[in-house]
């Protein structure tokens, strides 16, 4: 498997439900970041969690990080149709100084109104 793999590959939910996406990685990291990408558009930074943090919140987003399992999850609560997008995790691998990010394949989230 590759550094930064998300599951599920696709998630379809109803508005108001919670959406959980997972990311696994293989090597030690400085931090893990989540990005959103609307179809054909640029990447929007959502949240960064550092390797010494376990949980972080930002609005309706909650990110957890388990470095022992090399995994992270992104929870979007009370989803809205506007949350429909692809979500990527990206790892900043330990041992590098310049912030190179390694992205996963992404989870395609569809929120039905």
**List of residues contacting another protein (CB under 8 A):** 4, 30-31, 33, 35, 40-45, 48, 50, 88, 90, 92, 96-106
Work out the number of other CB atoms within 10 angstroms of the CB of residue 97: 6
Between 31 and 72, CB nearer to another protein: 31
CA–CA distance, 103 with 113 (Å, rounded to integer): 29
Between 79 and 107, CB nearer to another protein: 107
Exposed/middle/buried for residue 76 (C-beta within 10 Å: 0-12, 13-18, 19+): buried
Counted residue by residue, the chain has a size of 113
Q: From the CB of 99, what's the least distance to another protein, in Å?
A: 4
Between 50 and 112, CB nearer to another protein: 50
> Is 43 in contact with 37 (CB distance < 8 Å)?
yes
Between 15 and 67, CB nearer to another protein: 67
Q: From the CB of 26, what's the least distance to another protein, in Å?
A: 15
Residue reference for tokens 């949980």: 55
Q: From the CB of 46, what's the least distance to another protein, in Å?
A: 10
């Amino acid at each position: 498997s590759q550094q930064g793999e998300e599951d599920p590959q696709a998630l379809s939910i109803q508005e108001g439900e919670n959406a959980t996406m997972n990311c696994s990685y293989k090597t030690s990291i400085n931090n893990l970041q989540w990005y959103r990408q609307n179809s054909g558009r640029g990447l929007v930074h959502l949240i960064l969690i550092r390797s010494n943090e376990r949980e972080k919140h930002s609005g309706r987003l909650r990110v957890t990080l388990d470095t022992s399992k090399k995994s992270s999850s992104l929870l979007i609560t009370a989803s809205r149709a506007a949350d429909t997008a692809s979500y990527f995790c990206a790892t900043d691998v330990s041992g590098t100084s310049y912030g190179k990010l390694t992205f996963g394949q992404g989870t395609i989230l569809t929120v039905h109104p």
